[in-house]
C-alpha cells in the first residue's frame, strides 16, 4: 500500500533511469538502495550517495551560499541519511524527497542559527558568495539540466507572488511568519501562497502522476 | 483545529514552521492519511526544486562522508525494534523484553517491513503499552540513540569511533541555537535540551560509579507520569559521562537517572539517583 503511494508521488524511478544513462548497469532504485542502507549495506549507501550527493550539496549551497558550509551541511545530511535510513517512511514521500528534506532542514537550521548570531558573523567578516561549482566529480549534467528546465517551466506556472513566497521559505529559510512579514501580507495569505505555489508546481511537473 | 493543522502542511513541506508548529504537524501526520498524502505530493515538488539546484560536490565530500558513515551507528526502524547484532548499531532499550538493546532473530528486513505496521498495536502485543497510556505516538518518535561511553562493556574496538560519533551528536545538540541547560545532581552535571534537535544531552564530570553491577539509565518522565526509557551509560574512570537521547520532547516534564541492570530496563527498577524537573 505504501509502495503504491510511493510510485505515484515519487520521481525516483525517473531519476534512477537518468543516472543510469551515465553509468552502465541496471538503474538503481533509490528506495531499494535506501532500504538496503537501512540494513547496514555500505555498497548500497555508496550507490545512493552517487544518486543524491549532487542535489544535496547543490541545495545546501543554494541556501547557505558558501561552499565550505554547504559541504559541511551536505556531509551532515548524508551521514544522517545513513543514521536514520531505517526511519524512512514511504507514506510521507519518496526516498529522494526524504533525503532532500533532511538536507533542506539542516541547511535552513544553519541559516537560521547564523542569523540568530549576526553579531558574531560580523566579527568573522562577510562570507564569500558561492563560487561556481567546479565539475570535479561525475554528475549527470544532462539530467540536471532537464530537471532544472522542467522546474523552471513549473515555476513559470506560478504567479510572481507564489514564486516569491516559495523562494523566501524554501531557499532563504524564512518561516511562514517571517515571509508574511517580509512580504507585508497576513500570515494566512503567505500560507495560501506557499500552498498554491506547491500545488501548481507539483501539477506543472506531473509529480502527482 | 484539524483544519488549521492541515493548513500548516504546505509550510511544513518547505520547513517554514516554528518548532512548536513543526511538532504539532508531525504528531498530526501520524494519524491523518490525507495530510500524509498531501505531504508526499508537496515533497515531490520540493524535491524537484532541490534537484534543479544540483551542483557537483567537491571530491573531498565523498571521502568525508564515507569516513564518517563508517563510524556512525544506525537507528533501528523504530524505537520498538532493535534487530542488530552489530555492536555499534546500539539501539533503544525501552521496548525490548529482555531489556537489552540486542534482539536476536529479528531480521532487519522484517523490521523494516514492520515499521508500516500499526505501531500502537505492535507495542501493545509486546506489553509495553501498560506504562505508556495515550502515548503511542510519543513513544514512536522517541528514537533512543543510546551511544553511551563505555556502554555495557560490550565492545571495545569501536569505542573510539563510537565516542567520536557521540561527541559530535552531543556537540550538535549543545550548540543548537535553542539549547537550554540545567544543572543535574549527578557529580557535576548538566542537562542540555534542544527542541530543534529533538534531543536531550546529559553530561558532566566527577560522577560516582553506579551501584555495583548496574549502569546508569536515563528516563523521560511524561506529564501523565509514564516513563520512557533512555540509554544506559557509565562514567569514565575520572567520573566524566555523556549520553544523548533523541525524540519528541513534547510532554516531557522531567528527566531522571536510575541504576539499572546492564543493558537497561523497560521500567525503572530503583529509585532515581537524580531528577531534573524541566
Q: Which of residues 81-140 of A touch B (CB under 8 A)?
A: 82-87, 89, 91-94, 96-98, 100-101, 103-105, 108-109, 112-113, 116-117, 133-137, 139
Confidence label for B92 from pLDDT (cuts 50, 70 and 90):
very low
List CB contacts of B175: < 8 A, sequence separation 6 or more: none
Q: In 3-state terms, chain B is what percent helix, strand and coil (to 5)?
A: 35, 20, 45
If asked whether residues B40 and B166 sit together in one domain, one would say no
Chain centroid, CA A6 distance in Å: 17
Any domain includes B109: no
Candidates B213, B224, B230, B223; CA nearest to B265 is B230
Any domain includes B71: no
**Domain range for B175:** 130-277
For chain B, the domain total comes to 2
Q: Helix or strand or coil: residue B188? A: strand
Any domain includes B140: yes
Give the DSSP H or E segment for B215: strand B215-222
Residue B178: CA count within 13 A, CB half-sphere: 14
Using an 8 Å CB-CB cutoff, list chain A residues near B59: 136-137
Assigned CATH topology for domain A140-209: Arc Repressor Mutant, subunit A (1.10.10)
Q: Is A205 on the interface with B (CB under 8 A)?
A: yes
For the whole model, what pTM was predicted? 0.53
- Cβ atoms of B105 and B76 closer than 8 Å: no
> CA B253 to CA B95: how far, in whole Å?
21
Residue A179: CA count within 13 A, CB half-sphere: 30
Any domain includes B192: yes
**Domain boundary pick from B51, B66, B86:** B51
pLDDT of B174: 78
ipTM comes to: 0.77
List CB contacts of B22: < 8 A, sequence separation 6 or more: B12
List CB contacts of A19: < 8 A, sequence separation 6 or more: A27, A28, A50, A51, A140, A143
pLDDT of A45: 96
Any domain includes B270: yes
Q: Which residues pair with B274 in a beta bridge?
A: B257
> CA B268 to CA B131: how far, in whole Å?
11
For B74, the closest chain A residue by CA position comes to: A83
Q: Helix or strand or coil: residue B194? A: strand
What are B130's three cell numbers? 501498560
Whether residue B48 and residue A144 make contact (CB cut-off 8 A), yes or no, is: no
**Domain boundary pick from B25, B51, B77:** B51
Any domain includes B24: yes
Q: Which CATH architecture has domain A1-126?
A: Orthogonal Bundle (1.10)
pLDDT of A122: 43
Give the DSSP H or E segment for B183: strand B180-184
Residue spans per domain, chain A: 1-126, 140-209
> CA A204 to CA B14: how far, in whole Å?
18
> CA A40 to CA A29: how far, in whole Å?
17
* Rounded mean pLDDT, B164-173: 74
pLDDT digits (tens, 9 = 90+) for B31-76: 999 999 999 999 999 999 999 899 999 989 999 999 999 999 999 8
Q: Which of A194, A200, A204, A205 to mutate to test the interface with B (most CBs of B within 10 A)?
A: A194
Contacts A–B by Cβ distance under 8 A: 252
Q: Burial of B205 by CB count in 10 Å (0-12 exposed, 13-18 middle, 19+ buried)?
A: middle
pLDDT of A192: 96
Amino acid at each position: 500500500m505504501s509502495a503504491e503511494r510511493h510510485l505515484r508521488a515519487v520521481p525516483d524511478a525517473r531519476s534512477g533511469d537518468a543516472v543510469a544513462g551515465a553509468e552502465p548497469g541496471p538503474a538503481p532504485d533509490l528506495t531499494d538502495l535506501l532500504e538496503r542502507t537501512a540494513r547496514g549495506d555500505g555498497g548500497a549507501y555508496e550507490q545512493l550517495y552517487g544518486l543524491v550527493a549532487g542535489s544535496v550539496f547543490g541545495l545546501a549551497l543554494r541556501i547557505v551560499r558558501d561552499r565550505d558550509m554547504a559541504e559541511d551541511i551536505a556531509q551532515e545530511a548524508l551521514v544522517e541519511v545513513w543514521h536514520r535510513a531505517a526511519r524512512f517512511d514511504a507514506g510521507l514521500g519518496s526516498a529522494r524527497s526524504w533525503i532532500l528534506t533532511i538536507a533542506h532542514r539542516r541547511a535552513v537550521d544553519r541559516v537560521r542559527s547564523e542569523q540568530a548570531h549576526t553579531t558574531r558573523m560580523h566579527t568573522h567578516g562577510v562570507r564569500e558568495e558561492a563560487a561556481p561549482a567546479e565539475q570535479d566529480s561525475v554528475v549527470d549534467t544532462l539530467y540536471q539540466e532537464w530537471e532544472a528546465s522542467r522546474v523552471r517551466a513549473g515555476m513559470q506556472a506560478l504567479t510572481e507572488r507564489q514564486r516569491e513566497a516559495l523562494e523566501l521559505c524554501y531557499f532563504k529559510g524564512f518561516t511562514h511568519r517571517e515571509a508574511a512579514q517580509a512580504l507585508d501580507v497576513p500570515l494566512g495569505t503567505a500560507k495560501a501562497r506557499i500552498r498554491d505555489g506547491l500545488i501548481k508546481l507539483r501539477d506543472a511537473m506531473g509529480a502527482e502522476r | 483545529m484539524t483544519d488549521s493543522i492541515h493548513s500548516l502542511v504546505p509550510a511544513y513541506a518547505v520547513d517554514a514552521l516554528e518548532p512548536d508548529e513543526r511538532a504539532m504537524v508531525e504528531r498530526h501526520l501520524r494519524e491523518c492519511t490525507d495530510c500524509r498524502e498531501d505531504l508526499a505530493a508537496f515533497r515531490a515538488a520540493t524535491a524537484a526544486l532541490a534537484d534543479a539546484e544540483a551542483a557537483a560536490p567537491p571530491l573531498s565530500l565523498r571521502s568525508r562522508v564515507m569516513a564518517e558513515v563508517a563510524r556512525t551507528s544506525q537507528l533501528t526502524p523504530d524505537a520498538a525494534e532493535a534487530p542488530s547484532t552489530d555492536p555499534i548499531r546500539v539501539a533503544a532499550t525501552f521496548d525490548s523484553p529482555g531489556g537489552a538493546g540486542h534482539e536476536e532473530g529479528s531480521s532487519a528486513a522484517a523490521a523494516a517491513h514492520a515499521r508500516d505496521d500499526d505501531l500502537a498495536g505492535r507495542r501493545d502485543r509486546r506489553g509495553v503499552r501498560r506504562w505508556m497510556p495515550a502515548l503511542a505516538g510519543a513513544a514512536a518518535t522517541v528514537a533512543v540513540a543510546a551511544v553511551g561511553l563505555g556502554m555495557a562493556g560490550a565492545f571495545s574496538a569501536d569505542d573510539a569511533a563510537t565516542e567520536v560519533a557521540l561527541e559530535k551528536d552531543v556537540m550538535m545538540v549543545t550548540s543548537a541555537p535553542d539549547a537550554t541547560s540545567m544543572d543535574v545532581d549527578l557529580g557535576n552535571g548538566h542537562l542540555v535540551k534542544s527542541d530543534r534537535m529533538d534531543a536531550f544531552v546529559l553530561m558532566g564530570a566527577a560522577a560516582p560509579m553506579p551501584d555495583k553491577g548496574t549502569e546508569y539509565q536515563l528516563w523521560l518522565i511524561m506529564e501523565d507520569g509514564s516513563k520512557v526509557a533512555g540509554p544506559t551509560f557509565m562514567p569514565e574512570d575520572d567520573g566524566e559521562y555523556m549520553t544523548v537521547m533523541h525524540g519528541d520532547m513534547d510532554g516531557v516534564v522531567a528527566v531522571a537517572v536510575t541504576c539499572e541492570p546492564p543493558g537497561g530496563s523497560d521500567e525503572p527498577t530503583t529509585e532515581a539517583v537524580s531528577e531534573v524537573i524541566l
